[in-house]
């Protein structure tokens, strides 16, 4: 969130982000900037990390422009010896790719949550508006939805995400020579809740759940054989008010449900290892940014970036500034 705010406020042109459930695309949507999560293995997590909870984490930047995101991806993409996941080397520079207009794309769009959660009308309207914009640029746009068991996804994702906090707390405690049960008392309430859930999950359950998510990734990959990119809202709601995710106030379980409604569209790309981007093309009547998300085929960041550059030219956003800005 701090990275997105710094970019939106004009403090820096781009800032680093790590994305395990949407944490590049979420602040990009909430701050009105551009955010791309690359394919799994596009940018190494080395030398300190290999895998971070089932390969869901990717790193890149939030940026004011598509150009800067493409240039930084050129500078940082690549693997290191020992990486458990690698993406194929790109055929050319992303900075060169965005200078060419994309071919006529077949774009599938979805406005309903696959998890069965509510979607705010502003997020639906932004997606439909973006679909029309894409159509006006010559792309074929069709309404379609991948077939995913949303109820099972919902149930398993709650367990899977709990393991991220459990892993981190356990690793930190080991490095400090402490027991996790002692260290967990030093973290925020929601992370305490996640640790409580995750510490009751067996290794066998984790591996079975991971295999289910990998199978779901194949479903999404097959869906993307019929369309070039998949358009959805980035988030289920516009930016929420402070305190909306406060576990001290609402309780850990209630906050988890709020997260699932908020992140109804971002986590699929993480689980499947697909590239996805949030574009700042819409705003609410109150002036809050509402991102729209495009998910692409594995190893096809070039198509996403070409489309992003075309949309940026058609509907520029760089001139939009928040009330607090470094240039003011």
Output the six-digit token pair for 74. 């050129």
Domains identified in the chain and CATH numbers: 2-79+87-314 (3.90.1300.10)
Q: Which two tokens stand for residue 80?
A: 């290191």
| Alpha-carbon gap, residue 306 to 326, rounded angstroms | 29
- pLDDT tens digits, residue range 31-65? 999 999 999 999 999 998 888 788 999 999 999 99
The beta-carbon contacts of 312-317 under 8 Å, at least 24 apart in sequence, are 312/34, 312/65, 312/66, 312/279, 314/133, 314/136, 314/137, 315/133, 315/281, 317/32, 317/280, 317/281
DSSP H or E run through 238: none
> Both tokens of residue 41?
């293995």
pLDDT at 1: 84
Three-state DSSP state, 276:
strand
Q: pLDDT value at position 107? A: 98
Please check whether residue 296 is in contact with residue 91, taking contact to mean a CB–CB distance below 8 angstroms. Answer: no
Whether residue 228 is predicted with pLDDT greater than 80 in this model: the reply is yes
**Mean pLDDT across the stretch 193-200?**
96
What is the per-residue pLDDT for 222?
97
* Percent of the chain whose predicted confidence (pLDDT) is above 70: 100
Please check the confidence at residue 78 and state whether its pLDDT lies above 90: yes
Q: What is the mean pLDDT of residues 152-178?
A: 94
Q: What is the pLDDT of residue 172?
A: 94
Question: Is residue 72 predicted with pLDDT exceeding 90?
Answer: yes
According to the model, what pLDDT value does residue 115 have? Answer: 95
**Taken in order 150, 154, 156, 157, is the CA torsion positive or negative?**
positive
What is the distance between the alpha carbons of residues 33 and 152, in angstroms, rounded to a whole number? 33
- How far is Cα 301 from Cα 297, in angstroms, rounded to an integer? 8
Look at 295 and 321; give whichever has higher pLDDT. Answer: 295
Helical residues (DSSP H) of the chain, grouped into ranges: 2-8, 25-31, 66-76, 94-97, 121-136, 150-176, 180-183, 189-198, 203-226, 247-250, 252-262, 267-272, 301-314
Percentage of the chain beyond pLDDT 90 is: 95
**Conformational region of residue 145, where left means phi above 0, alpha means psi within -120 to 50, and beta covers everything else:** beta
| pLDDT at residue 327, as a whole number | 84
pLDDT value of residue 174: 94
- pLDDT confidence of residue 39: 98
* Burial zone of 93 (CB within 10 Å; 0-12 exposed, 13-18 middle, 19+ buried): middle
The string of pLDDT tens digits covering residues 242-291 is: 999 999 999 999 999 999 999 999 999 999 999 999 999 999 999 999 99
Structure-token pair, residue 317: 């956003």
| pLDDT value at residue 48 | 85
Contact 26, 291 (CB under 8 A): no
The DSSP result for 52-92, as a single string, is STTTT-EEEEEESSHHHHHHHHHHH-B--TT-S--PPPPSS
The pLDDT score that the predictor gives to residue 237 is: 97
pLDDT at 212: 95
Q: Which tokens go with 61? A: 């930047």
| Averaged pLDDT, 122-126 | 98
First to last CA, the chain: 21
CB count in 10 Å sphere of residue 12: 15
């Amino acid at each position: 969130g701090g990275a997105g705010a710094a970019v939106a406020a004009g403090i820096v042109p781009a800032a680093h982000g790590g994305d395990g459930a949407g944490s590049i695309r979420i602040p990009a949507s909430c701050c009105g900037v551009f955010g791309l999560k690359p394919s799994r293995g596009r940018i190494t997590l080395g030398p300190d990390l290999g895998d971070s909870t089932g390969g869901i984490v990717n790193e890149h930047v939030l940026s004011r422009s598509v150009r800067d995101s493409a240039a930084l991806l050129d500078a940082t993409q690549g693997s290191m010896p020992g990486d458990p996941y690698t993406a194929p080397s790109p055929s050319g520079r992303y900075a060169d790719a965005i200078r060419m207009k994309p071919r006529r794309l077949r774009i599938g769009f979805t406005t309903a949550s696959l998890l069965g959660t509510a979607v705010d009308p502003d997020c639906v309207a932004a997606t439909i508006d973006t679909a029309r914009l894409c159509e006006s640029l010559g792309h074929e746009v069709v309404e379609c939805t991948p077939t995913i068991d949303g109820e099972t996804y919902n149930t398993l994702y709650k367990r899977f995400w709990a393991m991220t906090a459990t892993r981190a707390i356990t690793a930190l405690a080991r490095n400090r020579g402490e027991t996790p049960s002692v260290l967990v008392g030093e973290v925020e309430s929601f992370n305490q809740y996640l640790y409580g859930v995750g510490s009751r999950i067996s290794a066998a359950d984790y591996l079975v759940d991971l295999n289910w998510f990998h199978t779901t990734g194949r479903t999404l990959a097959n869906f993307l054989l019929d369309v070039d990119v998949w358009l959805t809202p980035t988030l289920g709601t516009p930016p929420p008010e402070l305190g909306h995710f406060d576990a001290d106030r609402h309780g850990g379980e209630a906050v988890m449900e709020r997260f699932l409604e908020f992140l109804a569209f971002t986590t699929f790309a993480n689980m499947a290892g697909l590239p996805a981007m949030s574009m700042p093309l819409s705003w609410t009547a109150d002036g809050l940014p509402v991102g729209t998300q495009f998910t692409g085929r594995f190893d096809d960041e070039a198509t996403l970036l070409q489309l992003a550059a075309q949309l940026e030219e058609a509907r520029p956003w760089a001139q939009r500034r928040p009330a607090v800005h470094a240039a003011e």
